[in-house]
Amino acid sequence: MIIQSLVVGPIQANCFILGCEQSKEAAVIDPGDEVGRILAGLQKHGLQLKYIINTHGHFDHVGGNKALKEKTGAPILIHQADAPMLAQLSSSAAVWGMHADDSPPPDQYLKDGDQITFGEITLEVIHTPGHSLGGISLYTPKALFVGDTLFAGSIGRTDFPGGDYDQLISGVRKRLFPLGDDVRVFPGHGPATTIGQEKRYNPFFH
């Protein structure tokens, strides 16, 4: 599996290009901004984009949806609970003094337990609300993409609309920690970590 991480936009969100080395099919997780760099990453690896996947609906993670879909035609996938945010990205960004294009409506709603397959890679959708109502994590053996649910040594903010601290903590404990200590965790901001590292040292879980 090809994993390329790009830090995009003024809020420094992580965007991930996932590619199947055999089929050259790919998914982009959270195209927050700087779509030219995302397209260059796909081209560098010779990848054909099959899916645009949003872990949640905040503008710093989905602000590139429109441009990326226009360039590739790939469908946009998001949990239904966060889908209404996609039509309000420009106003959400403006509150922070920033710019984002409103996203086209999603082509497919994701729910807990869904599987997204491209080439020989399958991502399992795990609904992990708490940072937002429709926050999801995406799991493939040994790699977990968590959006803003979990960070190295921290957790996502829960003071935004739809946030719920207890729900977030419970979801990480019950749904993510059991996946195994050696699973690499790729958060929506900051460096990668592992489940084992966060179980042992993340102060929010002690």
Proportion of the chain above pLDDT 90, given as a percent: 99
Average pLDDT over residues 136-164: 96
With beta carbons less than 8 A apart as the criterion, state whether 121 and 140 touch: yes
| pLDDT on residue 163 | 96
| pLDDT on residue 200 | 97
Give residue 89's pLDDT band: very low, low, confident or very high (50, 70, 90): very high
| pLDDT on residue 169 | 98
Domain of residue 98: give its range: 2-205
Q: How many domains does the chain have?
A: 1
Average pLDDT over residues 155-183: 97
Q: What is the pLDDT of residues 39-53, one digit of tens each?
A: 999 999 999 999 999
Domain CATH number, residue 93: 3.60.15.10
C-alpha dihedral (187, 191, 196, 201), degrees to nearest 10:
-110
Euclidean distance between CA atoms 199 and 67, whole angstroms = 38
Rg (CA), the chain: 16
| pLDDT on residue 18 | 98
| pLDDT on residue 56 | 98
Give residue 99's pLDDT band: very low, low, confident or very high (50, 70, 90): very high
